[in-house]
């Protein structure tokens, strides 16, 4: 199955899906709470489904009311095996949570997650006294025999913040206090997201400049009603679409969000796009776009939509943080180079910077490489391409934004799906 994107003008308003990152965190917190938690405005995507399946394996009962998901925990049950699907967050966040239980548990996944390293998880858990086995020799599956024994550990945050998020969610359930010394922490905004959500559920975390975290033991998660805010990661490609090809209003966005990808607004301002807030509605409008410089070290998921924006700006755009792209659904620096190269855009990698020359896309045949953010970036870039852009395996957007192409069509995007196999892709 492929999709063809035609040069199109964008107009209208739309509401982005709710945040899959916040949804997964909310599901984990609800599973740790005593009583029944209501999750309003739930996210519905493959990663959220993976998290839902995990907490049910942990004994939680889920009732889906459409507008709300009810979660009632049952801490008497212990998962013996869980599948994280292709969700990196579910893998790294639930591993420390599952390790609270002394019973052995096997964690596995499918697809791209089987190629992503797990050594940081194993090293961190072992430092806290968890017994770990790794039949996958650096990759999934992993086997944990839980029950935290140590009260201090040094955690390497160089590969991102998701494992630390899991520790911050799990360790308040211990009887003892825990101190984590964290080095090389990346994606700090995501830790702020976690701490803010934990506060809503009655959990307090203190830290000293994100380098030393103190987690008090014997804390109790409270069952609450929690509303999942709209997803800035999903909003980013839509905002780029508006900036490139017309005028678009996104509804129900939180202008004060802790989500890292709200930084897309800084990039849009730098390149000259027009932005206007009206309450929780944000309107973006096409203006003359110029090359920009941007540091995406703490928001690496913005790389694909930023490239889609940069290829239509005047001059060479430079984006810092390439080292954060290797262990995603694909090696995104290589894939962005390859796929945009098919559209006649010669992207360069210079150390930790990606250099994207501006100009008009020619069009061509590309592939998502089973990476949802690559698929969305290619689609948005194609809205301003001279000739159509075809994208193979575009249905991978179900990982985070299943209705992306439907929504793109609603706001004027020329989207056509068809069956086609090419030996050249």
User: Which among 40, 88, 78, 28 has a CA at the least distance from the CA of 57?
Assistant: 78
DSSP state of 228: P
Which H or E run includes 20?
Answer: helix 20-32
User: What does the chain come to in residues?
Assistant: 425
> What DSSP line would sit under 262-324, residue for residue?
GGHHHHHHHHT-EEEEETTEEEEE----B--EEE-TT-GGGHHHHHHHHTTSBSEEEEE-GGG
- Is 196 considered catalytic here? no
Which H or E run includes 183?
Answer: strand 178-183
β-sheet with 389-392: strand ranges across: 364-367, 389-392, 2-6, 414-418
Beta-carbon contacts of residue 283 (< 8 Å; ≥ 6 apart): 242, 247, 248, 249, 250, 274, 275, 276
User: Which among 103, 97, 102, 95 has a CA at the least distance from the CA of 142?
Assistant: 95
The token pair at 217 is 């033991």
The token pair at 48 is 């959220």
Q: Is the C-alpha dihedral spanning 45, 50, 56, 58 positive or negative?
A: negative
Q: Which of 47, 231, 261, 301 is catalytic?
A: 301
User: Which among 257, 289, 253, 242 has a CA at the least distance from the CA of 10?
Assistant: 242
By annotation, the residues acting in catalysis are 301
């Amino acid at each position: 199955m492929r999709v063809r994107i035609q040069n199109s003008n964008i107009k209208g308003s739309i509401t982005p899906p709710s945040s899959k990152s916040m949804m997964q965190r909310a599901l984990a917190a609800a599973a740790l709470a005593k009583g029944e938690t209501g999750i309003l405005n739930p996210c519905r995507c493959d990663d959220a489904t993976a998290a839902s399946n995990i907490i049910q394996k942990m004994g939680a009962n889920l009732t889906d009311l459409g507008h709300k998901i009810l979660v009632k925990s049952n801490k008497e049950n212990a998962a013996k095996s869980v599948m994280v699907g292709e969700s990196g967050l579910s893998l790294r966040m639930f591993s420390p949570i599952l390790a609270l239980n002394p019973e052995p548990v096997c964690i596995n996944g499918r697809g791209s997650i089987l190629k992503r390293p797990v050594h940081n998880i194993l090293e961190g858990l072992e430092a806290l006294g968890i017994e770990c086995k790794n039949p996958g020799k650096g990759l999934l599956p992993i086997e944990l025999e839980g029950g935290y024994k140590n009260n201090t550990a040094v955690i390497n945050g160089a590969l991102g913040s998701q494992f630390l998020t899991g520790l911050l969610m799990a360790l308040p359930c211990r009887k003892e206090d825990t101190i984590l010394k964290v080095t090389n922490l990346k994606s700090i905004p995501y830790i702020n997201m976690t701490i803010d959500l934990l506060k809503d559920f009655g959990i307090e975390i203190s830290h000293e400049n994100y380098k030393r975290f103190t987690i008090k033991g014997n804390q109790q998660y409270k069952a609450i009603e929690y509303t999942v805010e709209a997803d800035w990661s999903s909003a980013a490609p839509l905002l780029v679409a508006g900036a490139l090809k017309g005028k678009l209003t996104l509804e129900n966005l939180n202008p004060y969000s802790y989500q890292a990808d709200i930084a897309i607004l800084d990039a849009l301002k730098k390149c000259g796009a027009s932005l206007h807030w009206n309450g929780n509605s944000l309107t973006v409008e096409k203006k003359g776009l110029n090359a920009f410089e941007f540091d995406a070290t703490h928001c690496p998921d913005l790389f694909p939509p930023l490239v889609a924006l940069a290829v239509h700006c005047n001059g060479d755009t430079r984006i810092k943080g390439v080292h954060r792209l290797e262990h995603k659904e694909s090696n995104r620096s290589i894939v962005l180079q390859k796929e945009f190269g098919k559209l006649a855009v010669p992207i360069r990698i210079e150390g930790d910077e990606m250099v994207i020359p501006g100009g008009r896309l020619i069009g061509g045949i590309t592939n998502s490489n089973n990476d949802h953010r690559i698929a969305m970036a290619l689609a948005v870039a194609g809205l301003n391409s001279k000739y159509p852009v075809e994208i193979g395996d575009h249905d991978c957007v179900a990982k985070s934004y299943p209705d992306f192409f439907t929504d793109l069509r609603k706001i004027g995007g020329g989207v056509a799906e068809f069956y086609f196999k090419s030996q050249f892709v």
